[in-house]
């Protein structure tokens, strides 16, 4: 019986068309069972028929699932160009659908089955006959610029990779990387070419279940990017028994040479080979590999060209632009053997596409200028030494230094700008007094914080230039790097303070408070810091408090509880004295003092993890959000009820309200529009007032609504000078009175509680007031009174069967009342600081993240929710700094 075949076209990808030739070998290992090549070919042929006889542009939401793979292979086998996008990114799907108007959109339905949404009866495009695949370049998923790959590109690269890896039909590879990523796709293509098996999985290598699947499938190949190897280190990969593993491949970025060597030695002991590889999407996937027998001795090299490919080195121009991300020195330091790496081979793309009109183009390039600076060593191996492109990656953003130069020129300033690590280095015309203004102008022109800009002002005649008269960017990096105590960055200053043994060698006559002033200026983005400044006086609030407290503790060793209200001059670190007693000299130095963590920060960090984890149902430990209400009251007292004059107090409070409300409303509005799960009242943060009913999703943002209601009401009250004066005189009595009023709402005596009783603002206000009072309590009897109130009022707040929830709230609030700090460790402090500082944004965003992962990958759902919230915190903070009134 003949095997079903897709319609044969002159230009199709051969391995996708010839799947049936591998017969009854197992092609796919899936959660639903095994799929043979014969069965896979039948499904591919049937899907090809559904795509129709006319060549059409197919947008495919990629995923490591059988449905997505079948659709991909059907299109390749029948000659339909595939636009492959991340299936887990609705934004990418929507933006590329809008940009390219695909004829067919293939994505999963609610049941997980891939559906074909036909947008046009035939095709709306003129498609070049060679066009087979469209991929986003690295880091640009969702952007309209795409790489155009031909059928020959896809086939040739799969053949080349299969050849140098030695893939046979007995191999089985796990899909550890996304299908839409060229490296992950190359794993699929090269194994299908040889009739090998694929373990289709969407699990992380950090999951125990992944390794259960890996062993059950007798998998032989594992692919990873540098982050994958970070995970492997954490889970003890070097101790795993994997008897069928033959090869481990690495690409997707530079892996440190020492790690390449270590994994090569591990593979040698364990019976598998390590292939470190180098590639770009523009070359379909791969351009070079390091033969495994050289990995231990030449780990710094990218190796030799893949079969069928070749390299050449283009000489550098004398324009100073040859060094980028990896560069530490100027072009002259590279020597004459360094040039731009240029690749040729059958896998070089046709060219780029930036609009649907470009889909009709044929080949526009014949070789690939990689943008990497390289040398060819005497043993024939190529080594990457830098980047030719002047684009810099600063704080996760791709910055064009030329645009920064142009922005400063518009202000009449000549400047030379380049990237240096995670900072922007600039020399500009001006005087030392101009530097703060120029730094801010440069930062605003590209959307990064001023502390990420190193700027040195010089006379016009002293700007660094090459002998040709062109800018000397290597000199710019050198001139802006801190070399004296007076010019060190705040980070370096804090480090010096943390190690007193270094102070005598480097500090000279610079006072310790100068370093602290620099640190305050960095964190708070202020240029008016003096020795008399305080954290709260400079506008610091709970959003910046976490980072500042951890950095200060690193610098000083210990912090007084009221450091945020003390002038900088009073935070001067202890200076070793030659007359100190032997007992004093034996005391731990500030850099070695045992670390502690403020209880409020710890509660914010642990609380947000408990909130997200409980919503995912990874575990059930509810009540953390109510603790965070108490922490918010505690922070309100500390950061807003300061000694500042009345108007400044109120203005600071309204600014903080805006910094919560604006990013919250923006995100929730997006959720209302995109998901359709929420009422517009949610976007306006009014759900608690209009009481939408008991539906769970309508109450997702009760915490943010309650917090804003409390702050707005208090801002209005504090606007009255009389009430402001009363609070200053009765610092404990005022929150105690509000606690008593809050208890009326706790028991709903005014009959204002909503359908979801324990989420109503009037019901939970007493916790906010309790946290406020805890911050003002100064005696044991005051704390005892608050504790007794907590023990009496918390039971009954939640449904009768939620005793653990009640206990958790009592425990957390008791710690807040009685324990100012907890013992900790440096790394734990940094992790807690990151989570606590982003806790509001994690809470805000996690409802739109975890539902996609919670059932199959609950741990990944938790990590993704935390990561998205941290990312949104960075974006929101940058955006709010750009708006000066925030």
**Residue-wise pLDDT tens digits, 89-121:** 787 888 899 999 999 999 988 777 889 999 998
Q: Who's near 611: CB < 8 A, 6+ residues apart? A: 624, 625, 628, 843, 846
Closest Cα partner for 189 from 119, 135, 229?
Answer: 135
Return the minimum-mean-pLDDT range out of 289-303, 728-742, 784-798, 827-841: 827-841
Check residue 488 and give its pLDDT: 36
Instruction: Please write the tens of the pLDDT for every residue from 401-458.
Output: 877 888 898 888 889 998 887 789 999 998 888 888 899 899 888 878 888 899 999 9
Q: Using only the alpha carbons of the chain, give its radius of gyration.
A: 31
**Prediction pTM value:** 0.49
Tell me the C-alpha to C-alpha distance, in Å, between residue 322 and each of 215, 368, 579, 655.
Answer: 47, 17, 55, 45
Output the pLDDT for position 819.
92
Tokens of 37: 């090549």
pLDDT at 464 over 90: no
Q: What is the pLDDT of residue 786?
A: 96
Look at residue 541 in the predicted model and tell me its pLDDT.
64
Q: What is the mean pLDDT of the chain?
A: 83
pLDDT of 553 over the 90 cut: no
For residue 94, the 8-state DSSP code is H
Mean pLDDT of 833-851: 92
Q: What is the largest CA-CA distance in the chain?
A: 98
**Spatial contact of 460 and 485, defined as CB atoms under 8 Å apart:** no
Residue 415 CA to residue 401 CA, distance in Å, equals: 10
In which order are the strands placed within the sheet that holds 221-224? 33-36, 26-30, 197-199, 172-174, 221-224, 247-250, 273-278, 288-290, 304-305
Residues 631-652 have pLDDT tens digits of 999 999 888 887 677 887 888 8
The structure tokens listed for 484 are: 């004296």
pLDDT for residue 771:
95
Q: Are strands 82-86 and 58-62 parallel, antiparallel or unpaired?
A: parallel
Q: Give 204's contacts (C-beta < 8 A, 6+ positions apart).
A: 210, 231, 857, 859, 860
Residue percentage of the chain with pLDDT more than 90: 52
Here the tokens at position 771 are 């946290």
Q: State which of 230-244, 316-330, 731-745 shows the largest mean pLDDT.
A: 731-745
What is the phi/psi pair of residue 393, to 5°?
-100, 105
pLDDT at 321 over 60: no
Q: Is residue 471 predicted with pLDDT exceeding 90?
A: no
The gap between the terminal CA atoms of the chain, to the nearest Å, is 72
Q: What does the DSSP assignment read for 514-577?
A: HHHHHHHHHHHT-S---TT--TTTTT--HHHHHHHHHHHHHHHS---TTGGGS-GGGGPPP---
Residues 6+ apart with CB under 8 A from 478: none
Alpha helices (H) in 676-779, listed in sequence order: 680-683, 687-690, 702-718, 721-729, 733-746, 761-776
What confidence score (pLDDT) does residue 525 get? 66
Measured in degrees and rounded to the nearest 5, phi and psi for residue 27 equal: -90, -45
Alpha-carbon torsion (517, 518, 524, 526), positive or negative: positive
Q: Judge whether residue 466 has pLDDT over 60.
A: no
How do residues 164-203 score in pLDDT, each as one tens digit? 999 999 999 999 998 998 999 999 999 999 999 999 999 9
Identify the bridge partners of residue 105 per DSSP, sorted by sequence position: 59, 117
pLDDT tens digit sequence for 694-713: 556 678 899 999 999 999 99
More reliable by pLDDT, 252 or 454? 454
For 9, 38, 189, 195, 406, the CA distances from 5, given in Å and listed in that order, are 11, 11, 19, 17, 58
Domains and CATH numbers, the chain: 14-305 (3.40.50.12780), 392-481 (3.30.300.30), 600-882 (no CATH)
pLDDT at 626 over 90: yes
Q: Which residues of 533-570 are buried (b: 16+ CB within 10 A; e: fewer)?
A: bbbbbbbbbbbbbbbbbbbbbbbbbbbeeebbbeebee
């Amino acid at each position: 019986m003949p095997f079903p075949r897709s319609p044969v076209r002159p230009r199709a990808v051969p391995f996708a068309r010839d799947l049936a030739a591998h017969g009854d070998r197992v092609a796919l290992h899936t959660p639903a069972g095994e799929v043979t090549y014969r069965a896979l070919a039948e499904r591919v042929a049937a899907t090809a028929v559904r795509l129709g006889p006319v060549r059409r542009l197919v947008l495919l939401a990629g995923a490591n699932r059988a449905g997505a793979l079948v659709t991909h292979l059907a299109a390749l086998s029948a000659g339909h160009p595939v636009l492959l996008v991340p299936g887990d990114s609705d934004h990418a799907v929507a933006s590329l659908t809008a940009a390219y108007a695909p004829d067919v959109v293939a994505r999963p339905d609610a049941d997980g089955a891939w559906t074909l949404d036909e947008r046009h009866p035939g095709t709306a495009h003129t498609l070049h006959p060679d066009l087979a695949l469209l991929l986003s370049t690295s880091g640009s998923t969702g952007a309209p610029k795409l790489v155009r790959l031909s059928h020959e590109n896809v086939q040739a690269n799969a053949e080349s990779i299969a050849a140098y890896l030695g893939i046979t039909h007995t191999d089985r590879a796990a899909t550890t990387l996304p299908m839409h990523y060229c490296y992950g796709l190359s794993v699929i293509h090269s194994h299908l070419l040889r009739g090998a098996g694929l373990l289709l999985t969407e699990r992380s290598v950090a999951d125990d279940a992944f390794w259960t699947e890996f062993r059950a499938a007798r998998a032989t190949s594992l692919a990873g990017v540098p982050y994958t190897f970070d995970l492997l280190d954490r889970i003890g990969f070097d101790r795993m028994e994997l008897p069928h593993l033959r090869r481990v491949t690495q690409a997707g970025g530079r892996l440190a040479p020492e790690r390449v060597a270590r994994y090569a030695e591990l593979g040698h002991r364990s019976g598998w080979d390590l292939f470190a590889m180098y590639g770009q999407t523009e070359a379909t996937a791969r351009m070079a590999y390091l033969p495994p027998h050289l990995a231990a001795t030449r780990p710094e090299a990218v190796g030799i060209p893949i079969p069928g490919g070749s390299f050449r080195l283009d000489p550098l121009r004398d324009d100073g632009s040859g060094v980028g991300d990896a560069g530490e020195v100027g072009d002259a330091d590279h020597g004459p053997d360094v040039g731009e790496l240029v690749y040729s081979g059958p896998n070089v793309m046709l060219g780029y596409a930036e609009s649907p009109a470009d889909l009709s183009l044929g080949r526009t390039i014949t070789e690939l200028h990689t943008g990497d600076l390289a040398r060819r060593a005497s043993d024939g191996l190529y080594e990457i030494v830098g980047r030719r492109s002047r684009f810099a990656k600063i704080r996760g953003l791709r910055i064009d230094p030329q645009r920064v130069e142009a922005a400063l020129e518009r202000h009449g300033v000549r400047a030379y700008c380049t990237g240096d690590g995670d900072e922007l280095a600039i020399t500009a015309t001006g005087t030392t007094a101009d530097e703060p203004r120029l730094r801010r102008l440069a930062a605003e022109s590209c959307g990064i914080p001023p502390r990420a800009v190193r700027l040195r002002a010089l006379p016009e005649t002293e700007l660094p230039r090459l002998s040709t008269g062109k800018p000397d960017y290597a000199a710019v990096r050198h001139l802006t790097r801190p070399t004296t105590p007076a010019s060190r960055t705040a980070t370096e200053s804090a480090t010096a303070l943390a190690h007193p043994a270094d102070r005598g060698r480097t500090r000279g006559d610079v006072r310790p408070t100068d370093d602290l002033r620099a640190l305050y200026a960095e964190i708070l983005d202020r240029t008016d810091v003096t020795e008399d400044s305080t954290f709260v006086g400079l506008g610091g609030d709970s959003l910046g408090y976490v980072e500042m407290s951890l950095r200060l503790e690193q610098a000083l060793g210990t912090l007084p509880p009221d450091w945020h209200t003390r002038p900088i001059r009073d935070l001067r670190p202890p200076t070793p004295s030659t007359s100190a007693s032997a007992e004093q000299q034996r005391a731990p130095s500030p850099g070695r003092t045992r670390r502690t963590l403020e209880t409020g920060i710890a509660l914010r960090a642990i609380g947000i993890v408990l909130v997200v984890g409980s919503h995912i149902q990874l575990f059930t430990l509810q009540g953390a959000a109510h603790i965070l209400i108490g922490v918010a009251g505690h922070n309100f007292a500390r950061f807003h009820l300061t000694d500042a004059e009345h108007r400044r107090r109120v203005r600071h409070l309204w600014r903080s309200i805006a910094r919560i409300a604006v990013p919250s409303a923006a995100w929730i509005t997006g959720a209302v529009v995109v998901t359709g799960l929420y009422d517009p009242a949610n976007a306006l943060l009014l759900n608690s007032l209009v009481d939408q009913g008991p539906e769970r999703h309508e109450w997702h943002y009760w915490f943010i609504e309650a917090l804003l209601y409390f702050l707005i009401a208090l801002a209005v009250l504090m606007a009255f000078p009389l009430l402001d004066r009363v609070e200053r005189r009765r610092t404990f009595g005022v929150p105690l009175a509000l606690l008593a009023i809050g208890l009326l709402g706790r028991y709903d005596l005014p009959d204002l509680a909503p359908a979801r009783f324990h989420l109503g603002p009037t019901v939970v206000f007493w916790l906010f007031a309790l946290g406020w009072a805890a911050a003002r309590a100064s005696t044991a009897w005051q704390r005892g009174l608050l504790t007794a109130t907590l023990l009496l009022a918390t039971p009954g707040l939640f449904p009768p069967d939620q005793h653990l929830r009640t206990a958790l709230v009592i425990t957390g609030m008791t710690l807040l009342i009685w324990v100012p700090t907890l013992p900790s460790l440096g790394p734990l402090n940094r992790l807690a600081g990151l989570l606590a500082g982003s806790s509001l944004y994690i809470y805000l965003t996690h409802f739109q993240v975890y539902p996609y992962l919670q059932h199959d990958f609950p741990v990944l759902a938790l990590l993704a929710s935390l990561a998205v919230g941290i990312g949104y915190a960075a974006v929101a903070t940058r955006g709010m700094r750009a708006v000066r009134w925030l």
